[in-house]
């Protein structure tokens, strides 16, 4: 068991013939992910890596291959359209890796997808990894091993750091979900905590947060009230100055809200053990 993606995931890659899309398609295929189709408008009929058929539209790809998930690697200005297209084609799970999507676009996308009951991961995220089953995104496959720790994170390489530290002491992950660092995105911490709470394979959970917004605070509230499994956390940005956007569009302390301190305190009050630095997470999981 795992959450969101596994061996039964039938994946479409939107933007499969682009540089990024092609590279990560190769990586995902090498990992064993079941990529059933690619989409690049105007390139329908071609093949990628000799085994993935390319279609002009998600609708055609989905109808032909019965795909149940789609990952998006198209440039930021086209990513909203790609998400609408996947949703309208009836894809229930969309993972958008693309960074730099405009926030008003994302508000429209998110509200539209919610109406349709479509689950979105990202944008600006590393995607999903269920070690040993499916890599749906850009998380390097060799830094994590199968296990019983559910990992959810707003950050990319910081997550790799944690997965790698876990692997080094023999701890594996059930599924790692990179939810992305944008202010308006799809799936949030609480969604993932719920899924991990319900997943029999997951015994402990790692939550990697960062400054900005109040999703960590809300997650803490959820943990205090509902979570039956132990949670370990790290919050990045304790040394970040207010008013400066720390790379991620959502990582900014605005009007005194969204500080690392607030988040850490909220999590600690909810019984979460908070690591002082990322590698310490592995220690706290033992």
- Catalytic residue IDs: 248
- Quick one: which of 65, 172, 247, 259 contacts another protein (CB under 8 A)? 247
Element (H, E) at 48: strand 47-48
Q: Under the criterion CB under 8 A, does residue 268 sit at the interface with another protein?
A: no
- Minimum CB distance to another protein, residue 17 (Å): 14
> How far lies 181's CA from each of 22, 155, 236, in Å?
24, 6, 12
- Minimum CB distance to another protein, residue 100 (Å): 5
> Which C-beta is closer to another protein: that of 77 or that of 226?
77
Q: Under the criterion CB under 8 A, does residue 220 sit at the interface with another protein?
A: no
Q: Among candidates 141, 138, 205, 282, which has minimal Cα distance to 3?
A: 205
Binding mask 171-190 for another protein (x = CB under 8 A): ----------x-xx------
Q: Under the criterion CB under 8 A, does residue 214 sit at the interface with another protein?
A: yes
- Quick one: which of 213, 262, 272, 274 contacts another protein (CB under 8 A)? 213
Which stretch, 3-11, 83-91, 127-135, 169-177, contacts another protein (CB under 8 A)?
A: 83-91
Element (H, E) at 265: helix 260-269
In contact, 158 and 236? CB cutoff 8 Å: yes
Which stretch, 2-10, 28-36, 105-113, 169-177, contacts another protein (CB under 8 A)?
A: 105-113
Please report, as residue ranges, which positions from 121 to 140 form the binding site for another protein (by CB under 8 A).
Answer: 126, 138-140
Instruction: Show Cβ contacts of residue 255 under 8 Å, excluding neighbours closer than 6 positions.
Output: none
- Minimum CB distance to another protein, residue 200 (Å): 29
> How far lies 277's CA from each of 74, 177, 251, 280, 281, in Å?
34, 20, 18, 6, 7
> Which C-beta is closer to another protein: that of 1 or that of 103?
103
- Minimum CB distance to another protein, residue 8 (Å): 26
CA angle 10, 63, 131 (to 5 degrees): 5
- Minimum CB distance to another protein, residue 101 (Å): 6
Binding mask 7-46 for another protein (x = CB under 8 A): ----------------x-----------------xx-x--
How far apart CA 196 and CA 69 sit, in angstroms, is: 19
> Which C-beta is closer to another protein: that of 124 or that of 148?
124
> Which C-beta is closer to another protein: that of 188 or that of 229?
188
Q: What is the DSSP letter of 212?
A: S
Secondary structure tally for the chain: helices H, strands E: 9, 14
Please report, as residue ranges, which positions from 50 to 79 form the binding site for another protein (by CB under 8 A).
Answer: 56-60, 76-78
Instruction: Show Cβ contacts of residue 101 under 8 Å, excluding neighbours closer than 6 positions.
Output: 76, 79, 80, 123, 124, 182
> How far lies 212's CA from each of 113, 152, 187, in Å?
24, 16, 16
């Amino acid at each position: 068991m795992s959450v969101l993606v596994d061996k039964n995931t039938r994946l479409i890659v939107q933007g499969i013939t682009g540089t990024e899309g092609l590279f990560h398609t190769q990586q995902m295929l090498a990992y064993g992910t079941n990529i059933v189709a690619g989409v690049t408008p105007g390139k329908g009929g071609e093949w990628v890596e000799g085994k993935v058929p390319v279609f002009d539209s998600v609708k055609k790809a989905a109808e032909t291959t019965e795909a149940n998930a789609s990952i998006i690697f198209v440039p930021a200005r086209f990513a909203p359209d790609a998400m609408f297209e996947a949703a309208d084609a009836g894809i229930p799970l969309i993972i958008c890796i693309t960074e730099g999507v405009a926030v008003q676009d994302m508000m429209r996308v998110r509200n539209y997808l919610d109406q349709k009951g479509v689950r979105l991961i990202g944008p600006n995220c590393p995607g999903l990894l269920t070690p040993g089953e499916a890599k749906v995104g850009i998380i390097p496959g060799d830094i994590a091993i199968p296990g019983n720790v559910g990992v959810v994170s707003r950050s990319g390489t910081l997550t790799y750091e944690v997965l790698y530290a876990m692997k080094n002491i023999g701890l594996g992950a059930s599924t790692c979900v990179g939810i992305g660092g944008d202010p308006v995105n799809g799936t949030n911490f609480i969604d993932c905590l719920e899924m991990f709470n319900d997943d029999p394979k997951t015994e402990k959970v790692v939550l990697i947060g960062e400054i900005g917004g109040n999703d960590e605070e809300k997650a803490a509230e959820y943990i205090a009230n509902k979570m039956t499994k132990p949670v370990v956390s790290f919050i990045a940005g304790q040394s970040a100055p207010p008013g400066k956007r720390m790379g991620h569009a959502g990582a900014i302390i605005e009007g005194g809200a969204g500080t690392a301190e607030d988040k850490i305190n909220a999590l600690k009050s909810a019984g979460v053990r908070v690591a002082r630095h990322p590698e310490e997470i592995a220690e706290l999981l033992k």
